[in-house]
Structures are given as structure tokens and as C-alpha cells.
Structure 1
């Protein structure tokens, strides 16, 4: 059940209706000439749409508008006249070649779309048309039937920021050749309770970037929105949406959300538009094959106080899905502190799109410079956390208690 206040009806009629409408137009023209009075063929499609609209409006107590976000598509079929339009494609001047095939014992035709029929009908001269059809069209003995009714509604968008407190959780379901690589995903942990209250067919999570499955998302969280496809329920109180984040908190979920709220479609543009402007803060646990001297640490930290441009070739680990390019990226700040032994805490602020893991280990020389090349050692990143994504999204809700 949809909670829409208004709807828009579309009607798709059998292709033969366009042939029959043309035949009736010609018949009315003939009658007008003979009788000396004017008459027109009724627009069957608009008549049927009006009849359906009136009944639905009365039965469902909704308004019929031309700009409604709720659309009902009604498709009619009529087997008896199903082939009446095919003569259009058998003409020598036809630009469309039909293909026929058998499916479950029934002969099917492709290429005779509504657009093709209307184009061929426009190109068919009156003499050709009269030669292959009767005016008025012949009567039929069966009624048209409703083959399909589909209901579609504009998407609902829910935005917020998420925290991923544990590792080995992908942002979206991670499946390779039918096998799940990670058990959980951020999209499902947040999206399933949203799907439950909206009754949507499906949902998509769009984040302002994404962290690897083995990387935590901490700090102020990552901006995201979930698009609910064809939602049945769109009218939700602020409290009902906030209850989702409260429930995740009470259940001590590995994914938390805050500032969760319904947003407008136009509000989602900042997620993509801000992709190249945002900066990110990272904290990494790094192992170096050799101990770094105090002099080297001081040198690196001094370098890290200035913006640094690095050249990154597409990392080996993503070459299967990204073009092999070299891209300049920004390291805005760098700070390294010794923990113990060969272990160091590294904090990095970078521009958008920087591959931090590759900046640390160098990716076999594909990232220049890297921490490995700057220290003259082998560097390996053991843990990585995102601590901040600097994008102002969504608007804060003062009523939310995190």
C-alpha cells in the first residue's frame, strides 16, 4: 500500500490500436465528404486513461496529476489483433527488419516496438494503407485484456554519516563469482531497517568515497545516503528515522550512524560534487624494516608540515577495475611517532582519491615518493583507520542524541 496523495496514470495499448485509429480517421474523413458534416476519430488511449483515472481516484481517494511522483502503468494486450500492424514492416520501403523466434511454443516478434510502428505508419502513404487495411477497421469478437500493471514511485533518500567500528566489513556487499567475501556490509546493516519501514523494492548506498573492508571508519563518520527504490511509505517522522540509529547504538552494532534524516534528491549532489574537494585524515600502524633515527623522524615530520605532491599509478590491487593511469595526489600533512621496536603511528591528511596504503609501501615503485622510498626501508601498513572526512553533509539535527 502506497501512502501517495496523488498519482499519474499511463496506458500502453496493443499496437493494433494505432492501425485502427488511422483507419477510423480515414473513415471519418470519407464520411465527412459524403455527408457534408465533420467527425473525428476518438482518441482511444486518452479515453481509457481518463476512465481508469476516474475509477482509481474514487476508489483510492487520490488526486490525478500530470506531475505526480507516483506512476501507475497499465498495459493492455489483444491477441486477436496482435498481427494487424505487421504489414507496415512488409512494405518494400520499410526501414525495419523484423525477427521472429519461438519461445515456449509461441512465435514471438522483435523489432516492432511502438516507436517503430508509429514511424512506419507515418511513412506509409494513404494509398498503401488503404490497400492493406479496411476503413473502418473490422470488428473483433474478443475484448482487450490487462496484461500488466506496474506501480513506480520516485525514490526516497535517507542521508547521514556512518561509523564502522570493526574491520572486515565492506561498504557494499562484496561478492566475487557468487561467493561472499565479507559476511557483513555497511549498506545492509543500515539499509535493511530502512527498507523495513519504507517498504522499498531495493536500496543503494552511496558514500562520499569508500574505505577498504579492513579499514575502520572512525571520527565524525563518512557522509552517505541511501536511495530507497520505489518506496511504499514516504511519510516518516524525524523520530521514526532516528529510531534506526538509536537501535543500532543499543544493539552495539559494528556500524553506527548519526544525523540520520530524510533528505531531498537535490541534497545528494554534494556527495559527488564534493568528491574532489574533500580531505581525509588517516591514522595508520606502520612497520618499518629498519628503525628510524631521531634525525630521520624529525626530517620526515618537517617535510610533513608542507603540502606534498605524489604521483600514483593505478594500484596493482585495483588494476582489474580501474584504468592504468598516473594521477597526481596531495599529501597535506604527515606526522610519524615511534611506538616501540619497528612500529610507528603515522597520521596523514590527504586530498581526495589518494591511496594511503600505496603511499606507505610504495606499491613496487608505482607511488613516488612513498614512505618506503623516503625512509629507504621496507614499509608495511598493518592497520588503517579513517578519522575524518571533511564534507559538510548532512545538515545537523540538534534533536539527535548520540
Structure 2
């Protein structure tokens, strides 16, 4: 055991040494990259209150270590590499400018909000309680995000990081870019470094956050159903001009040789003279509000259900605050699956539907339960537990079978099956005269009978008045012992056929019908669905 402990310590020390060496090498690369920056342009950006990370980003410095270092260290690197103070003295001949720059750098490290990223790359933000939160570097920020993710209780095997930023960031960046182009376009460094496409604030944040989050959450970032979304929104401080009623609203001014668009803190856009270094972007008084939302793409649990009661609707049925029926298939199944997935809610989808007074027997009807933002992804064992729990309900109104976790393609297959698959029924039918052998023969001989059905009267209040052609594939007739006016009708039809209307004709709205074929009145007394053939979904 002692040898194992020693080996572990050696391995850990070696890993730490390797990591330290890698960090040192990245620091060197960053130092070399910064040495090539034009000091006077860097000073210009700092004077416009552009944070150091945005400066690196705008100059296309890709060494990502700068996101992992605190601002004070980053400014130290810039000062040593570019000798900003010497440049300021050389340009202005005034040490007061140096003091001003130092004063600004100190205040920026403490509190100043970047005029471009609005604090996003400074890892400074207002949380949901409006409390100001400031982190020195990406790892601290990632730790806060990871803790919030863990608090929400999701089981995850990967994640996708999404970032949403206010449009003000892009607008302010465009102003800075226009300003730099107008002022420095003729200089060689501008052509070589500043004109090339640079990384955006959104991508810079995602790149700096991904690796620390992977370590803290213990999973990889990939194309995942689980999403971590950071939404930044900026509430502009009300300016004195806005209070006096001036410059209200958004006014876009076309740029010319001497003007660029300047986005102000009150949301207005004004012109600024690019030749005047004292006309920077208006300072924002606070960083963005940030909200973190964790969500999982819906998961689908599917199977087949059987309904044994003639007083249970398929979905929750409430009219004028009064429930119709004693329960619903939707609630009995979805209400028992949702708690085991720990989701926010569910939607129930079925391959067609039966009336409240129609039982669903035989092989059952295919269904899907769509669980929204499930925190637990059920295993095969827990799926079996769900099935047993539903089937052991005391009411015994509904049972399920073939329950399993399905991909989102299950929904497409089921919707396709609603129109294209076949369904079998058994109906107890009464006719207004004694049935004859000729009647039995006439009905049984009909194959692939085309029926035109106008939207039934009983559903006109919720369905469009359309004519639908459906197919009755076959029918079989059984006499009912002890009565000459009752028959048991077995039939196989195209999905979506109105069976009750096919029997009684619905005042001529369905033609032909059992009544019109036999030349008498026909009424359906009881109806059961005995088979729904959709093997591709759940078999």
C-alpha cells in the first residue's frame, strides 16, 4: 500500500510539473505575441476603456491562457512587452498622461466595465438577484457556472455550451473597429494584424469556459441533448440627456470621412469625431445581467396502451371546470412517468384516438410521452419499473406494454402511422329488421370498400368541415344468439375512419354505410378497438 501511495504521489507531481511547464510555455507565447503589438494603438484602446482581453482578441492573439489570468497580470504583461509608459511620454512629452494611464489601469482592474464586451470577458456580471459578481479569470467563472449546474440536479454525460449576448456588444465593437480603421489604416501593423477576422466575444467566452467546465463537471463538451445556456442582457443606465427628453430613441447616423456611430448608454446612437481621441464610446455604468438555464432536449418514452373502461378519455377532458369521465389515459400514464424522470412537464401523443366510451384492446394503441427537461435519463431497469407501476394501479383502467426509451424519430414514425396504418374493430350493431344470410354475405364479400366521410356532426365544433375518403379493407359478421336484430361486426379499416358513422350513416354524411348497404337503420351499441398495426414504432 505504501508503494502505491508513493507511486500516486510521483504521478501527481509529474502531472503538476507537466501542467506548470505547459503554462510557462503559454505565458512565453503570450509575451512574444504582445511584444509585436503597437504600443500607441494599445494605449488608445485602453483609453477608450477596452478591457485587456478584448485588446488581445481584437489583435487576433489566440493564446487562450489570457482568459485564465487575472487582469492585473495581463496588464503587467502588456506594460512590460509594449512599454506603454515610454510610448506615452514619447508621444505627449507629459508624465501626467502616464499617471492618468496608471490610474485608469488600477481602476479598470477593480471595477471599470469594458466598453466593448460590457464585462462579459471580464467575468463580471449581475446575477438573478441583481448582485454584482466579479471573477478574476475563466476558471473562477467556470466554477460558479458548474456549481449552479450541479444544484439543478441533472444527470449528464456531456454538455453543449450556448451563449446569448446583447446586440449592444456587436454595435460597440463595430464603432471601435471603425475608429481604429479611420485612424490607423495607413500603418503596416493594421494591415497585417487588425484587418484579419478576429474571434468574437461569444466564441472567446465559450473557448475560455469549455475546458474548465469539462474538468469541473467530469464530462466532455459535444453535441449533446443537455444544454448550458448563458444569457447576458444589458440594461442601459438612464443618461442625463434622456432625463431631459433629448436624444430619445434610436437614431442611426450615416458615417462619412469624420464620423462614426457611437452607441450611448441610454441606447441612442450618436456621431463621434474619429480624429478626436477624447470622443470614446459612452461608458456603461454596470455589466450585463446574466441568467443561467440548464435544459435537456425532450426525451420520448413510448409503448402501447390498453384501455379497459368506457368512462376514460384519452386526454384530460374538462368542460366548464367539470371533468368528463373518471380519468384519462394521458394522466394515468404520463403522471406516473414524469416523477421518475424528474422533468418539468410532459406531453402525451398517441397514434390516433378512441372515444371515451370505446375500449382499446388487443395489441394496444402506440403512444409517446414527451418529457420536457428531464433531469434523469431512465435506464432499462427504471423503464421496467415505470411499466410495472402503471400496470399495478388499483383502478386497473389502463395498462401499458413494450415500454421503452425512444429517440425523437419515434414521433415521426407515429405521425406517419396515423394516416397510413390499419386498425381493427369489433362492434355490437343493432339493425331495424331481422338479419338474413344474404345480409351476412353482402357485408362479408366487400373488400377495400371506398367510403366518403364528411366531418361527423358530433365533431363539427372542433374539426374542419372536410370530405375524407377512407378504405374499409374487410368485414366479418357474426350473429348474436337469441336475437335476429343484433350482429357482431369485425372490420379492418384505414386509420382515421369514423366507425360509428360508417355504421349509422350520420344522416347521409358517410356513404356508403352499413345502414345504406342493408337498406335499413343501423346503430352501434358498443365499440372496441382490437388492433392497431404500427409495427415500426414499438414492436
TM-score under structure 2 normalisation? Answer: 0.61
Q: Distance in 1 between matches of 2:306 and 2:402?
A: 12
Match of 1:314 among 437, 455, 458: 455
- Pair 1:264–1:32, CA change in 2 (3 A): same
Cα deviation, 1:213-259, whole Å, max 9, x if unaligned, reads 1111100111122221221112x321210122222223353111111
Structure 1 residue aligned with 2:281: 137
Match of 1:239 among 381, 406, 421: 381
Q: Distance in 1 between matches of 2:172 and 2:211?
A: 25
Cα deviation, 1:260-291, whole Å, max 9, x if unaligned, reads 11112223322122233311110111122222
**Bigger Cα Rg:** 2
Q: Distance in 2 between matches of 1:61 and 1:210?
A: 45
Structure 1 residue aligned with 2:393: 251
Aligned to 1:300, the other structure's residue is in SS state: helix
Is the contact made by 2:336 and 2:389 (CA closer than 8 Å) also made in structure 1? no
Question: Deviation at 1:48?
Answer: 3.3
Q: Distance in 2 between matches of 1:293 and 1:278?
A: 33
Is the contact made by 1:286 and 1:383 (CA closer than 8 Å) also made in structure 2? yes
Q: Which runs of 5+ in 1 are unaligned?
A: 93-123, 397-402
Aligned to 2:419, the other structure's residue is in SS state: coil
Is the contact made by 1:195 and 1:202 (CA closer than 8 Å) also made in structure 2? yes
- Pair 1:391–1:35, CA change in 2 (3 A): closer
- Pair 1:381–1:125, CA change in 2 (3 A): farther
Structure 2 residue aligned with 1:332: 473
Task: Report which structure shows greater RCO (CA 8 Å, sep ≥6).
Answer: 1
Aligned to 1:22, the other structure's residue is in SS state: helix
Aligned to 1:21, the other structure's residue is in SS state: helix
Structure 1 residue aligned with 2:184: 32
- Pair 1:34–1:332, CA change in 2 (3 A): closer
Structure 2 residue aligned with 1:103: none
Question: Deviation at 1:298?
Answer: 3.5
Is the contact made by 2:178 and 2:260 (CA closer than 8 Å) also made in structure 1? no
The structure carrying a bigger helix percent of its residues is: 2
- Pair 1:52–1:176, CA change in 2 (3 A): farther
Is the contact made by 2:252 and 2:270 (CA closer than 8 Å) also made in structure 1? no
- Pair 1:208–1:395, CA change in 2 (3 A): closer
Determine whether 1:18 maps to 2:170.
yes
Aligned to 1:311, the other structure's residue is in SS state: strand
Match of 2:428 among 278, 285, 290: 285
Q: Which runs of 5+ in 2 are unaligned?
A: 1-152, 242-246, 263-268, 273-278
Match of 2:496 among 339, 350, 353: 353
Structure 1 residue aligned with 2:353: 210
Aligned to 1:243, the other structure's residue is in SS state: helix
Aligned to 2:312, the other structure's residue is in SS state: coil
Is the contact made by 2:316 and 2:330 (CA closer than 8 Å) also made in structure 1? yes
Question: Deviation at 1:14?
Answer: 3.0
Question: Deviation at 1:81?
Answer: 5.0
The alignment's C-alpha RMSD in Å is 2.8
Question: Deviation at 1:79?
Answer: 2.3
Question: Deviation at 1:348?
Answer: 1.2
Question: Deviation at 1:384?
Answer: 0.4
TM-score under structure 1 normalisation? Answer: 0.80
Bigger mean CA deviation after superposition, 34-43 or 164-173:
34-43
Is the contact made by 1:23 and 1:136 (CA closer than 8 Å) also made in structure 2? no
Is the contact made by 1:161 and 1:394 (CA closer than 8 Å) also made in structure 2? no
Question: Deviation at 1:57?
Answer: 3.3
